[in-house]
Each structure stands twice: as structure tokens, then as C-alpha cells.
Amino acid sequence: MAQIGSFALLLALVLSAYSFFAGMLALIRPAAGIDRIGETARRAGIATFFAVTVASLCLLVAVFTNNYSLVYILQHSNNDLPAPYKFAALWSGQEGSLLFWSWLLAIYGLVLRLRHKTDRALFAHASVIIAAVQLFFLLLCNFAAHPFAIVQGQIPTDGNGLNPLLQYPEMVIHPPMLYLGYVGFTIPFAFALGALIMKYPGEKWIHITRRWTMVTWGFLTCGIFLGAHWAYSVLGWGGYWGWDPVENASLLPWITGTAFLHSVMMQEKRGMLKIWNMWLIFTTFLLAILGTTLTRSGAVSSVHAFAQSSIGYWFLGFLALIFSVCMVAFLMNKKYLRSEHQLESLVSRESSFLFNNLLLLAACFAVLWGTLFPIISEYVQGTKITVGAPFFNKVTIPIALLLMLLTAVGPLLAWRKTSTESLKRNFLTATYVTVGLAAVLSIFMKPWTDMANFYSVMAISLSGMVTIITFQEFWRGGRVLAHQRGSTVFAGMVQLARRNTRRYGGYLVHFGVALIIIGFAGLAFNQDKEQELGNGQSMQIGHYTLVCKSYTQDDNPNYGSESAIIDVFRNGKFVTTMFPERRFYKASQTPQTMVANHSTPEEDLYLIYAGLNPDTNQPIIKARINPLVMWIWIGVWIVVLGTAFALVPNLSTARQPAPVGSRVAVGAEAD
């Protein structure tokens, strides 16, 4: 199996090299007969997918057959590892995850190359750029981190096992989603660079790029929040985001991708910000690679990071190469990126997008700066320092609040210029309600007592404003359509959304983000308590009484476990029974908590079985009340739904062309 896998990897390398060089030749010297070489390059790109697939399958077969003659399988699996987690072994180590990255890129490349008839020239350029990226990853797989390396000497009968932290259902989905996001940004990058090199006229490439970016952004969003949910459920510290360098690395391309999805509308609608958009896409891809560099070089301390290795230098070289190519292409072709229109008013949709981008990029810079500062400090001062949650919270929360304000304001501004009357008409209700909401919240949350409380009041009030304005937009348009069609307002709203899926999908995303922010705002009111809890004893936290009924033990081939059985009462009424658990994984000889969580829209009751007190031999239970957390996960679902909805073709173009008048009337122009 190892030989087949190694051969498939080598074949994939040769094929991607051919796809790159032959494709480039066909683009540089367009002549009779060269087209056929271009076509062979495209087919070699398709064949690369099959070769990488065979290599990936070989590794999977090796995991499932417990083939410990491979170093990778020995280090990341064991005989008693449950089948779903054997899949996770594919991306749990450096070598496997690079192969997985190559495979996902090959899938994206396959889809792109099969759709080449959409625009042969542009897709040919993009195909060559993807082949170059693919070539880099296959070089790594073949020469720097070979997944089929053979164990020297005696072959053990059992492996070291998978990291216990990864033995959780979400861990089977979270890394693939995140990788789909990271890898996916190669496609918009390839189209953007291709379009720049071939001096493409403008709108079409950006249309293609925007759709790919939305898909990729959706995957990355899922990946990031699945990771947050995993951290919340498994790590047992009661939080979902720790500002770990690797978490930050995933956030950076997400932020610039978000900025692009907004500013691209200015290019589509008004032919503006062409240079900016081009560089946003370049930056997004560069940040995805930078994140990978940080993770894999061991340059930053992180629970996620792979061991320190020389692979970081490969990535740094690749990063420098990409940046150089982008810069040269830009300098040679920048005159094709001139804006077609000027900004007419500061109070307009265009300027709201400009400031939205400004704030997003400022947030991106703050996160990047904080992530890299330990390295900079070590270089300048000779001492490494920590830049953790207190720094990031202080720096990013004010920016995030300003962004929420813009999220609320932006949709109400018209393109080109917004009149004062229109501003008054659109904003008055929302402003009154928001100020009222803030006043009511202030009575209960006392924002003057603590900065965290102040931020919470602001976050919930601004989220409320976003929600009101979002529904106001649906309501107004729905009412106009209902009037025209004689239907109900709800039917009008559905019709409206289907006529402009991108716009109203975007509003759904905004609504989802508002709910997520409400969930974050609960952080200021977390409570926690730790207590020894013997059989029959009870503890009080908030309005909950926890009564320990018993402790139990279990054992299976993979792990042994101890868990507490705790009855939960709220204001004296029985609510539920919870089972916080502690596992001990046999192969890796490491303990792990399994949090018990009782989640309601109001708050989560979060219990951790922390083990026995060595002095008293009594079990210790840590309890937390985390308000509003459920809204984060609900918000994420709405964001994902909104993104999916935005990708659906408009009803008016797909099936039923709408009269021009009605489209203008319902505000389709304001996309």
C-alpha cells in the first residue's frame, strides 16, 4: 500500500508540473497547435485529482488496516480507535494534513477545469495558477513531509493513538470545513491573478470570483465556528474563543474575505475599487498561506500548532514567491484597474462600504499584529512575550462595535447619494427603538460599573438595531410586492427575497451576525464556581442547585471513564440530570474532560468533572453559568443559511423576469 501511495504522489507531482508548464506555454505563446497543448495541460490537471485521490485512499486504507509499518499511522492511530476517528487521522498530523490539503485543492481544480467552457481563456489562466499551487503542495508531500515514510526496524503491534482532543464528533467535520475554506481561497485568487494578467475587462471575472469566494467564505465560517463549538464542548474552560494564534490565523482570511464580499459590490455596481478588490483577494490568499506557515513552522506557541519543523521555510519561500508574482502582475497591468466613477457623496452606500472595509482591515491588522508581536518582541528585545485574550479583547471589541453600527446603517444608504429626508425616514424608528433598548438594558446591566458591561449593552443594542433594520428592509419591500400582487405581506417578502437572493441572503447573514454578537455579549455575566461534591452533597450556582446523586465508572478498549451523575434544580424545581465525564485514553495515556452542558436561550449550565482532590479524595465539580451562548450557534446557522440562499440564482433571472418598474420599486437597485 505504501508503494502505491508513494507512486501515486509522485505521479501527481509530475502531472501537476506538466499542467503548470504546458499550460503556461500555451498561454505565453498562443499559436496554432498550442491550443492542443493547453488542452493536455487541462487534462493533466484533471488527472492530478485522480492521482492525489489514490494516494489519499492508500493512506486511509493503511489507517483502517492498522498498517503500523507507516510512521504516520503509527503516530496517529491505534487498534481500538473508533472508525469515524480513523478518518480524522488523515488530517491530524503534518504529513496527512498536507496530503489532505492537496486532495481538496485537486477537487477544487477538477471542478474548475470541468467548467472551463464558461470562459476558456480565463479558466486556462486560473488552471495554470492552481497547478502552480498544487505543485508546491505536492513537492511538500513528496520531499518535506512524506505521509508514506516507512518505520525503521521492528514494527510495533499497536499505534500511539489519535490525540484525545480530536476524538470528538465535531473534529471529524471541523478540520475539513476549515481546510475547504483555506484551500478554497486559491480559486478566487487564481481567477483574480488570471484576470489581471490577461487584462480582463472587469465584471465577469469578478462575478465568478465572488461566487467562489462566497462558497469558500461559507466553508471557512462553518469551520471557524465548529472549532469554537468544539473548544466549548471539549476543552472545558467554558469559552469558545481563546485568541490562540492558530484560531487567529483562521480569522484573518475570513476578515479580508468578508471585506472583499462587500467591496466587490462597488466594482460590480459602479466600476470602483478595482485595485482594492484585486489586492483584497491577493491578501486573503496570502493570509491563508501565512496562517498555515504559522501553524506548521512552530513559530508561535499554540495548542493547535504542529511540531517545529523546517517546513516553515518552504511556506515562507512560497509566500514570498506569491507576493512577488502578484506585485509584478499588478505593476505591469495596473492601468487596467482604474475606477470608472467618482464618489459623489460621503453619505452613500459606496462610502459605507469604504468604511466597512477600513474597519475590517483595521480588525485584521490588529489580530495579525497581536499574533505576530511575540515573534517581533523576541527579535527586537530578545524575550518572547504572550499576547493573549486581554490584549485582543481590548483592541478588537471597539472596532467590532463600530462595524455593527455600520452593518445597521449601510443597508439604508442609497447608491451615489442619500438625501437627509430619506435618512430621517429610514433611521428614525430604528434609532428610537435602539436608544430605548439601550436605556432598558442599562437599568439591569449597569454599564457604568464595568467596561465589560458597557460593551455588552452596546453590543446588544447595536445588534438590536441591525435586526430591526434588516426586518424593516424585508417588510418594506414585501409590502410593496404584496400590494402589486395582491398577496399577503409574508408572501411578498418571500417573493422579494427570491427575486434578489444575494441581497436578502446578505441581510440574513447580517441578522445571523447580530445574534452571534448578542451571544458574545453574554460573556460579561459569566459565573463560575468550583467545589468538592461527594455523594448526596449539593452546591449552589446562580439560581441552580446541583445535587450529586452518584459517581460511576466505565471502561472500553479505547478509554476508561469516570463520570458524575448530577441532578439539577432551578429555583427548587427539577430540571435535568447531567453527566460530566473524565476519560483516560489508553493508547496515548492522556486524560480528557467531556463537558456536560444544559443549554437554554437564556444561559448554559456548564459542568466539568475535574477529577479527584488528591488530599481529600473527593470529586471536584466546576460549574459555570454562561449566559446567551445558544444565540451564537443559532446565529451561525442563520449565517450559513443566508450564505447558501445568496448563492441561489435569482427567481427573476432564472424563471420569471420581473418588470423593470417593480424591481426598482422593491429596491433591487440597492444591492
Partner 1 sequence: MKKQSAVSLQQALSSRGRKTWAVLAVVTVMLLTLAPTDTNHARFNDLGHRMMCTCGCNQVLLECNHVGCTASDKMRDELQQALNSRLGDQQVLDQFVQKYGATVLAAPTTHGFNLVAWIMPFAALLLATWFTVWFVHRWRERPDGAAGVAVAAAELRGADIGALRKQAREETEV
Range 597-616, binding partner 1 (CB under 8 A): 608, 610-611
How far is residue 437's CA from residue 430's CA, in Å, rounded to a whole number? 10
| Subset of 199-228 contacting partner 1 (CB under 8 A) | 199, 201-204, 206-207
Q: Which of 40, 66, 309, 351 binds partner 1 (CB under 8 A)?
A: 351
336 binds partner 1 (CB under 8 A): yes
CB within 8 Å of 10: residues ≥ 6 apart? 142
Smallest separation, CB 640 to partner 1 (Å): 22
> For residue 612, what are the β-bridge partners?
619
Question: Which residue lies nearer to partner 1 by CB, 204 or 570?
Answer: 204
Decide: 231 and 243 in contact? Cβ < 8 Å.
no
Rounded CA Rg of the chain: 27
Rounded to the nearest 10°, the torsion over CA 286, 289, 294, 298 is: -150
Choosing from 7, 21, 330, 355, the residue that interacts with partner 1 (CB under 8 A) is: 355
What SS3 string covers 322-339? HHHHHHHHHHHHHHHHCC
Find all residues with CB under 8 Å of 131, minimum gap 6, and list them.
16, 19, 20, 23, 41, 44, 45, 48, 109
* CB burial of residue 3 (10 Å; 0-12, 13-18, 19+): exposed
Q: The cell 527586537 sits on which residue?
A: 380
Q: SS3 breakdown of the chain: % helix, strand, coil, rounded to 5? A: 65, 10, 20
Return the residues of window 99-138 that contact partner 1 according to CB under 8 A: none
Of the two residues 35 and 340, which places its CB atom closer to partner 1 in the complex?
Answer: 340
Of the pair 100, 392, the CB lying nearest partner 1 is at: 392
Pick the closer one to partner 1 by CB: 60 or 275.
Answer: 275
Residue 258 CB, shortest distance to partner 1, in Å, is 16
Judged by beta carbon, residue 106 or residue 608, the one nearer partner 1 is 608
Nearest approach, Cβ of 239 to partner 1 (angstroms)?
6
Q: Which x/- pattern, by CB under 8 A, does the window 145-184 give for partner 1?
A: ----------------------------------------
- Identify residues 627-666 at the interface with partner 1 (CB under 8 A): 650, 652-653
Between residues 44 and 265, which has the closer beta carbon with respect to partner 1?
Answer: 265
Instruction: Annotate 563-609 with three-state secondary structure.
Output: EEEEEEEECCEEEEEECCEEEEECCCCEEEEECEEEECCCEEEEEEE
Q: Is 582 in the site for partner 1 (CB under 8 A)?
A: yes
- Residue 551 grid cell: 459517581
Hey, which residues between 251 and 290 contact partner 1 (CB under 8 A)?
A: 265, 268-269, 271
State which of positions 386-415 bind partner 1 (CB under 8 A): 386-391, 394-395, 399
Interface with partner 1, residue 50, by CB under 8 A:
no
What is the nearest approach in angstroms of partner 1 to the Cβ of residue 360? 11
Site for partner 1 in 480-539 (CB under 8 A): 502
| CA separation for the pair 279, 256 (Å, rounded) | 10
Of the listed pieces 52-60, 75-83, 230-238, 277-285, which binds partner 1 according to CB under 8 A?
Answer: 230-238
**Coil, strand, or helix at residue 539?**
strand
Name the grid cell of 592: 480528557
> How many CB atoms sit inside 10 A of residue 316's CB?
15
Q: Which is nearer to partner 1, 335 or 573 (CB)?
A: 335
Residues in the chain, how many?
671
Binders of partner 1 in range 360-379 (CB under 8 A) = 361-362, 365-366, 369-370, 373, 377
User: Considering beta carbons, is residue 67 or 652 the nearer one to partner 1?
Assistant: 652
> How far is it, in rounded angstroms, from Cα 251 to Cα 369?
13
The single residue among 358, 405, 433, 644 that binds partner 1, judged by CB under 8 A, is 358
Other Cβ atoms within 10 Å of 69 Cβ, number: 15
Rule CB under 8 A: choose which of 57, 144, 343, 480 binds partner 1: 343
Q: Which stretch binds partner 1 (CB under 8 A): 4-12, 357-365, 429-437, 533-541?
A: 357-365
**Beta carbon nearer to partner 1, 11 or 621:** 621
CA dist 472 and 34 (Å) reads 57
- Per-residue x/- marks for partner 1, 539-578, CB under 8 A? ----------------------------------------
Number of residues counted as binding partner 1 (CB under 8 A): 72
- Residue 481 CB, shortest distance to partner 1, in Å, is 18
Options 381-389, 431-439, 462-470, 552-560: segment touching partner 1 (CB under 8 A)? 381-389
Q: Which of 159, 181, 236, 492 binds partner 1 (CB under 8 A)?
A: 236
Instruction: Output the smallest distance, CB 421 to partner 1, in A.
Output: 22
Select 498 or 622, whichever has its Cβ closest to partner 1.
622
d(CA 275, CA 267): 10
Closest distance to partner 1 from the beta carbon of 351 (Å): 6
Among 14, 235, 480, 539, binds partner 1 (CB under 8 A): 235
Q: 390 or 436: whose CB is closer to partner 1?
A: 390
Which residues make Cβ contacts (< 8 Å) with residue 585, sequence separation at least 6? 161, 164, 167, 558, 559, 591, 592
CA distances from 621 to 418, 530, 580, 596, 608 (A): 58, 6, 8, 11, 6
Stretch of 10-18, 171-179, 340-348, 488-496 lying at the interface with partner 1 (CB under 8 A): 340-348
CB closer to partner 1 out of 43 and 529? 529
Compute the distance between CA of residue 149 and CA of residue 321 in angstroms, rounded to an integer: 29
Q: How many CA atoms lie within 13 A of 563 on its CB side?
A: 18
Query: Of 152, 383, 420, 571, which one interacts with partner 1 (CB under 8 A)?
Result: 383
- Residue number, 82 or 388, with CB nearest to partner 1: 388
| Helix (H) or strand (E) run with residue 531 in it | strand 527-532
